[in-house]
Amino acid sequence: MLQKFYPNEYVESAYVIDFEDLYRKGYRGIIFDIDNTLVPHGAPADERAKELFARLKKIGFACCLISNNQRPRVEMFNREIQVHFIENAHKPSKKSYFRAMERMGTDVSDTLFVGDQLFTDVYGANRAGIFSILVKPIHPKEEIQIVLKRYLERIVLYFYEKRKAAADR
C-alpha cells in the first residue's frame, strides 16, 4: 500500500543529481517542484537555481515547473529561469503532470520529476507514470500543514529505506 508513495530515487538535493547521465539514459523532460526543492519556501531563484537551469538547457532538457502555489509566486521564481510552468497544479492530481509533458513535448517514457514531498509531488508523479526523484527539503521552516505531513512522510520513508536495503542485499 505504501509503495504508491515511494520515489524511484531518493537523493540529498536536486543539485547533486547526475542530469547528464539521465539524458544519456533517454530522459528529455524534467518537471520540478519549486519550494523546498530548488529554493527555500517563497524565495526567488538564486544563483544556484539559475546555474542549474542554464546547465539543463545546455544539456538539452525541456523543463517545466509545477506548483500548488498561485501564479505570482511561480512567475516570481521563473522570472530569471524562463521555463514552462503550471501554477495552482492541484498536486497530486496527475492532470498537471500531463499538461507539463504536453508543454515540453515529452511523454511518460522520457520525463522525470523532482520534488521534496511524498504525498503531493512523488505520489502525483507516480500516478502519472513518471520516474520520480525525491529530494530532502532545503529548509526546515515550512507551513504548518507541511510540517504535519512530514511526520507521516518519515513513516513511509522508514519502510521505503527498509525495502531498499532488503533489495540491495
Per-domain residue ranges of the chain: 2-168
- CATH code for 2-168? 3.40.50.1000
- Kindly provide the b/e burial profile for residues 122-153, where b requires at least 16 CB atoms within 10 angstroms of the residue's own CB: bbbbbbbebbbbbbebbeeebeeebeebbeeb
On the CB side of 50, how many CA atoms lie within 13 Å of its CA?
Answer: 8
Please tell me the distance from the alpha carbon of residue 112 to that of residue 23, in angstroms, as a whole number: 10
Please tell me the distance from the alpha carbon of residue 114 to that of residue 12, in angstroms, as a whole number: 12
How far CA 118 is from CA of 60, 137, 152, in Å, comes to 28, 11, 9
pLDDT at 78 over 80: yes
pLDDT at 158 over 90: no
Please tell me the distance from the alpha carbon of residue 131 to that of residue 66, in angstroms, as a whole number: 15
As a whole number, mean pLDDT of residues 149-165 equals: 82
Q: Minimal CA–CA distance to 32: which of 158, 119, 139, 116?
A: 116
Question: Residue 162: what pLDDT?
Answer: 85
pLDDT at 159 over 90: no
147 or 46: whose pLDDT is higher? 46
Q: What pTM was estimated for this model as a whole?
A: 0.90
Cell of 90: 492541484
For the chain, the average pLDDT equals 92
Question: Residue 155: what pLDDT?
Answer: 80
pLDDT per residue as tens digits for the range 99-123: 999 999 999 999 999 999 999 999 9
Q: Minimal CA–CA distance to 96: which of 128, 73, 126, 69?
A: 128
Please tell me the distance from the alpha carbon of residue 159 to that of residue 135, in angstroms, as a whole number: 17
Question: Residue 151: what pLDDT?
Answer: 73
